[in-house]
Chains A and B, each alone.
Chain A
Amino acid sequence: MTDLPILLQNLTSIQEQALAELESVQDEAGLQAWRTAHLGRSSAVMRVFSDLGKLSKEERPQVGQNANQVKLALEGAFNLRSDELRQAALQRSLQNERLDVTLPGRAPTLGSLHPATQNLREIYRVLGDMGFQVYRARDVESDEYNFELLNIPAHHPARDMWDTFHTLTPGVLLRTHTSPGQIHAMREYAPDPVRVILPGMCYRYEQISARSEIQFNQVEMLAIDKGITFGDLKGTLNDFARRLFGDEVRTRLRPSYFPFTEPSAEMDVECFVCGGKGCPICKGSGWLEILGCGMVHPTVLKNGGYDPAVYSGFAAGMGPERIAMLRYRITDIRYFWGNDVRFLEQF
């Protein structure tokens, strides 16, 4: 027979003492020790449970209920304290674990595409969106395709426009432009309409200097169909320029001469560096010359297998390295084939 009030009083003091001890717990180890001491199998409150059997039937429910309340209170307090301590620990670690974020990062071993490839791909993408597909042709070409079929007969003064590398095989040369591809493509497509991009390495017999190279990429576009006009040429080039240089860029055409187009023109775009106000890149003029173009010459159409009275078309050609030089302010064209990593790494 026990004294019920004493039992209940005892439970209250168990709770008070445990909570008081919990206050002073400061770490995970202390927390676990506290739990063993106050909620473990041999803790005071659990002993009350295990001793319930010794109580009278009348006392049992009330003591049990009270003990349960104490247990719940202690568990609640434990969880709360545990949370507090975890938060405090996190806070401490956040404060202590500080990096010098200005230390250099560890470099991954990255590769890169050559800038010429990047330029070509950009042009393929833009022109591809406009329905032009890449058609490639050979580097070592016949005089016939490089000149004659393009309306540049032997000894014609227009040949002075191209300083040519010849091979020891008569009539075989290094193409001076991608235009032989016009004939290759037309002869393959005729009489279907043509809309192709002609990219590739071209060669000119020129002293290598910061401004001129013996080899360079060229990209041409060629469109042949019934009813293609000079207005279409302008519209297509305007769209092309906007995609490449910005939605607001202005363009203009100046009359020019190429034997394989007529009318022929040079296209200038408003300087994308200064917006046309004049700067060192555009040499103060506000304009940058970026491509040559024109309506395909009737002789070339005929040589390609199209009747010039029925079909018309346009061609336009540009030097992607030259455009890249303007864009990235590359001062020396020799960088492109020099392959110095200090150049390549910048793209």
Chain B
Amino acid sequence: MNVPLSWLKDYIDIDLSLEELARALTMAGLEVDSVKVIGLPLPEGERHEFKYSGLAWDREKVVVAQIDEVMPHPNADRLVLCRLNDGLQEQVVLTGAPNLYDYKGQGPLPRPIKVAYAKEGAQIYDGHQPGQVLTTLKRAKIRGVESYSMVCSEKELGISEEHEGVIFLDDDAPTGMPLADYMGDAVFEISILPNMIRNASVLGVARELAAITGKPLRLPQRRLPADGPSVVGQVSIQIQDPAMNPRFVVGLLRGASARPSPYWVQRRLRLAGMRPINSIVDATNYVMLETGQPLHAFDYDHLRQRAHGQPPTIITRAAHPGEKLTTLDGVERNLDPFTTLVCDTEGALSIAGVMGGLESEVTPQSQTILLEGASWNFINVRRTVASQRLNSEAGYRFSRGIHPALAQEAVQLCLERMAAWSGGQIAADLVDAYPAPVVDPVVELPASEVQRVLGIELSAEEVAGLLRRLEFTCTVQGDIVTAQAPAHRLDIGEGVVGRADLLEEVARLYGYNNIPAVRLSASLPRQRRNPALEGEERLRDALVRAGLREVATYRMTTPEREARALPLGAVQAETPYVRLANPIASDRTVMRRSLLASVLEVVERNSRLRPRLAFFEIGPVFLPNPEAPLPAEPVRLALALSGARHIAAWDRPEAHAMDFFDLKGILEAAFNELHLSDVRFEPTQHPSFHPGKCALVRVGERVAGVAGELHPKVAEHYDFGAAPVLAAELDVAVLLSCIPARYEIQPVPVFPPVLEDIAVVVDEDLPAEKIEAVIRAAGGKLLTDVRLFDIYRGDKLGEGKKSMAYSLTYMAPDRTLTDQEATQIRQKVIRRLDQELGAKLRS
């Protein structure tokens, strides 16, 4: 909502600076986004709380002037010379404004044209350049005639984009007056909160300002200055559903003639963001901006024609199935059955509260104007606005709720303004159908509630005083304030909700920043653990310590993007997804099922940026549940590695590319931190992974997920570097469920260990896991550590054999082991390896 300061001042005295006014409005909930200054001086100093823009007019150099005669230019048809009086002297000014051509060569004008005049040296905007480019008026010769000053358009003065012709000021503009004094202004761009639609009008803002500042509000007069025969009998109104259309008021203006509105009206409309059309349409828009009540003007004679010469009947009803209407914007619309229409006996005239129909529109030729002011069910209007995707000033206001009392007031005011600007006779009376009168809610608010919810101690009288400033009607009995909402707002509820509504108003007028801040004194609720979050965070920390970067990706993707993580043949056509009904982009149509696919995209994106890539993400995937409307959202861990094992330095070349065992080491380190025991990697097959380099990760009896080297056929779907990509996707809940509730540590040994290496030759396909298991079982408690340090294959061993070298640590908790004891363990280990695995000691 754009509110011109000059307009606001019609209803309330304002002695605040622009900054103070903007702050006062903002702190009352009318947030000022920016202030556009029109001709007035911009606030001085560096720091402003608000954004200002605009052009200040030099009081000496930009003034009201009058053109007394328009003369042809001797050398150019498209230019004219004006004999102009700027209040100090008469001069001849050159201009190319097309709206002056008509006056060319008429001799001295009987009614001088009042204009905005910029003298030599004045700073204005260049009218011929797009946007706002400042220029200073200098002396120049144009086609042989000297020019040093200018008659200005709105664009040149920064009022609007209008540059079709120069401004014709109203005739009463005082020649010689500084223009800034005559029509300097400031436009406050205000964000209207959804519950404050009552303030989407100049009067509404003035009303709020009166409540804040305590200054009296000057309401426009509410009496109909009728001077013609009554409207009663000229039109009848039928409301089919009062719940949808609580009130419908019409008035009549006879003998009007559309013409350009007075300049001040046009200027205000433009400043408020609307385009002036003619004095009839402008009056409806002006009064809508003024009061907040949208109005609609019909050509009465046309309606009468449709009614075959009889007084027309206005019918409001729901649209019939299949009914269509072409609206003012020229679009033929298929109407929803819930949409309310304004009709006559012949058919639809307009979409109620949203937009008029093209056919019944007032034209510049219309003479008899039937003016509608109605109120509509706001929920229903919003449904229509949403369904028709039709945004209009009327729809914006009606879809948020306009009090029916405004309908009558606005029709009266508009008839008066329309007559003043278009001529004509206002018919006496209004035809007012008001089948569902609003009962403004009465709410009881004990002062103790103010204390209980807001934490401020106010007497009932003080509470009533604050509410009265907002025009609530209040009575006080003991502790209780009984307040009735004023007849211009619909946002106050009943009962306990109404109480909250009043509390908000009390807080707002008291000033949020005047309410003392206190420290929460309520007792601390019983504290609860959040094991899932704690576990995820521990997992994150463990992976970060292992050198991985956490990423966070979009949770929306497409089935096609996820299919990249599988070889072509493995993609299932009918994978169920949580699908969006209204995706915003073709590459974000479903909720992801695979976290791995997302992390692989991160590897791809960074593949040329760093030699070592190591990423993980922990987050939910979305699996539709055939039994229930809401999907399962299990949390997954995906990780991906590729490239150098460590980062090169100036004296250290880049390391080998990471392989499966880097991935496994990282997982093991993370699992160790979580104290997961009994984690096993078993060979498995998975379409995304290399068949020989893929493991099922099992924790205890549960399968946590899969880890391995990406299948080359999958890798080629991505723009990866040359190095293999290692990846895993694991179920976090499985991992976390295996974290022991508690764990015990081993005492730090006090006796020295005995270290010893053995190497055994075994069959190539014997898994390392089995060898270690046999060694540990044979070694018993005194064998405290087994570490594989070398694998050797060679001719000496023979085909299909490998040598596995282990470093063994023997240690007793209570004594130093003797060589004899160590030898005994060793011999047992060697014997068991031979017996159980056929492993021979390598000599």
Contacts and interface: CB of A to CB of B under 8 A. Distances in A.
Interface string B632-650: 0100000000000111011
Contact of A299 (B378, B497, B540): B497
A23 interface: no
A107 B647 contact: yes
Contact of A140 (B386, B512, B633): B633
B551 A339 contact: yes
Contacts of B382: 155-157, 160
Contacts of A71: none
A346 to B, nearest CB: 12
Nearest to A188: B528
B530 interface: yes
A121 interface: yes
A142 B537 CA distance: 28
B532 interface: yes
A254 interface: yes
Contacts of A285: 48-50
B504 A225 contact: no
Contact of B551 (A208, A225, A344): A344
Contacts of B454: 229-231, 263
Given A298-B500, A342-B609, A167 B579 contact: yes
A228 interface: yes
B584 interface: yes
Contacts of B533: 134, 136
Interface stretch (B191-199, B294-302, B707-715): B191-199
Interface string B448-467: 00011111100000000000
B831 interface: no
Given A229-B455, A263-B503, A285-B48, A111 B545 contact: yes
A49 to B, nearest CB: 42
Interface in A161-217: 161, 165-169, 171-172, 174, 189, 192-195, 201, 203, 205-208, 214-215
B507 interface: yes
A155 B547 CA distance: 50
Contacts of B517: 231, 234-235, 238
Interface string B545-576: 11111111111100000000000000000000
B453 A230 contact: yes
A339 B383 CA distance: 40
A168 B588 CA distance: 14
Contacts of B645: 109
Interface stretch (B21-29, B434-442, B674-682, B685-693): B21-29
Interface in A109-138: 109-114, 116-117, 121, 130-131, 133-136, 138
Interface stretch (B54-62, B267-275, B519-527, B811-819): B519-527
Contact of B629 (A111, A169, A253): A169
Contacts of A264: 504
Contact of A298 (B48, B499, B602): B499
Contact of A133 (B194, B499, B527): B527
A303 interface: no
A236 B527 CA distance: 18
Interface string B602-639: 10011001101111000010100000011101000000
A277 B612 CA distance: 44
Nearest to A158: B194
A286 B49 contact: yes
B27 A255 contact: yes
Contacts of A195: 524-525
Contact of A284 (B51, B501, B609, B629): B51
Interface centre among A155, A285, A312 (most CB of B within 10 A): A155
A223 interface: yes
B524 A131 contact: yes
B128 interface: no
Contacts of B515: 230-231, 234
Interface string A258-293: 000011110000000000011000011111000000
Contact of A253 (B500, B513, B555): B513
Nearest to B551: A339
A256 B29 contact: yes
A214 B622 contact: no
B88 interface: no
Contact of B609 (A105, A228, A341): A341
Contacts of B109: none
B399 interface: yes
A207 B48 CA distance: 31
A111 B630 contact: no
Interface in A323-344: 336-342, 344
Given A117-B552, A140-B631, A229-B452, A156 B379 contact: yes
B782 interface: no
A214 B588 contact: yes
A148 interface: no
Contacts of A287: 49
B745 interface: no
Nearest to A116: B552
A72 B820 CA distance: 48
Contacts of A308: 496, 500
B393 to A, nearest CB: 15
B547 A110 contact: yes
A139 interface: yes
Contact of B530 (A131, A134, A214, A254): A134
A309 B523 CA distance: 19
B355 interface: no
Contact of A278 (B46, B378, B453, B504): B46
A257 interface: yes
A172 B629 contact: yes
A284 B47 contact: yes
A295 interface: yes
Contacts of A338: 605
Contacts of A54: none
B584 A214 contact: yes
B31 interface: yes
B129 interface: no
B580 interface: yes
A5 interface: no
B785 to A, nearest CB: 25
Given A113-B544, A265-B512, A298-B496, A254 B31 contact: yes
A114 B543 contact: no
A133 B193 contact: no
Contact of A189 (B525, B578, B610): B525
B512 A207 contact: no
B550 A114 contact: yes
Nearest to B27: A254
A59 interface: no
A226 interface: yes
A155 B540 contact: no
A309 B51 contact: no
Given A138-B630, A283-B51, A341-B549, A104 B650 contact: yes
Contacts of B614: 109, 111
B167 to A, nearest CB: 32
Interface of B: 26-29, 31, 46-51, 193-196, 378-380, 382-383, 386, 399-401, 451-456, 496-497, 499-501, 503-504, 507-508, 512-513, 515-528, 530, 532-533, 537, 540, 543-556, 578-585, 588, 591, 602, 605-606, 609-610, 612-615, 620, 622, 629-631, 633, 645-647, 649-650, 652
30 contacts: A109-B646, A112-B549, A113-B544, A117-B540, A133-B527, A135-B530, A139-B622, A157-B400, A158-B194, A165-B580, A166-B581, A167-B578, A171-B629, A174-B591, A203-B555, A225-B522, A230-B512, A231-B515, A232-B519, A234-B515, A234-B518, A253-B512, A253-B513, A257-B29, A257-B193, A257-B195, A262-B503, A263-B508, A339-B552, A340-B609
Given A230-B512, A295-B500, 16 more contacts: A105-B649, A109-B645, A112-B550, A117-B550, A167-B579, A167-B591, A227-B521, A229-B451, A229-B453, A230-B453, A230-B456, A232-B455, A234-B517, A308-B496, A339-B553, A342-B609
